[in-house]
Amino acid sequence: MHAQTTPITTAAIAAALSTARAKVADNKRWMTALNKASLEIISTPWVWYGHTLKIKSRTASTTWYSVTATSCGCQAFAKGNACWHRAAFKLLSNAQNVTPATPATPATPATPAPVARDSQADVDFLFN
Ligand SMILES: [Zn+2]
């Protein structure tokens, strides 16, 4: 099990993934990042701190990236590219907000609520 401050269930992650996939359907690079995140989140060690995600690098075994809603410590982010770490952050962040007490109810396609905009336009476009 992954260490985490707030329980994030596999079902909640699955729900967040489903929602996120719909939102990035038109954006190939974020869809790729999201799909990678959905796999890596299972096999890569990570720790969720509520507003920060620490996740282990796949390529540098001693490196852990610190990921927030608007930043990541990896090289892809430094180059301004989509990275799966931030996709993973969004998945976990959204999963955290999934109410566990609503099991079999089909999710109503919710009208996106007004949210504070990130400085990263990509993230807004894709996930909000
Ligand atoms: Zn990254």
- Please name the residues in contact with 98: beta carbons below 8 A apart, sequence gap of 6 or more: 9, 11, 12, 15, 16
What average pLDDT does the segment 91-118 reach? 65
Q: What's the whole-number mean pLDDT along residues 82-96?
A: 94
pTM score, whole prediction: 0.71
Cα-to-centroid distance, 47 and ligand 1 (Å): 15
CA of 48 relative to ligand 1 center, distance in Å: 15
CA distance 128 to 126: 6
| Overall average pLDDT of the 16-41 stretch | 95
CA–centroid distance, residue 104 to ligand 1 (Å) = 34
Per-residue pLDDT tens for 9-24?
889 999 999 999 999 9
Q: Assess whether pLDDT exceeds 60 at residue 91.
A: yes
Residue whose entry in the numeric block shows the structure tokens 């959204």: 94
- Residue 92 has a pLDDT of 95
How confident is the model at residue 50, as a pLDDT?
A: 86
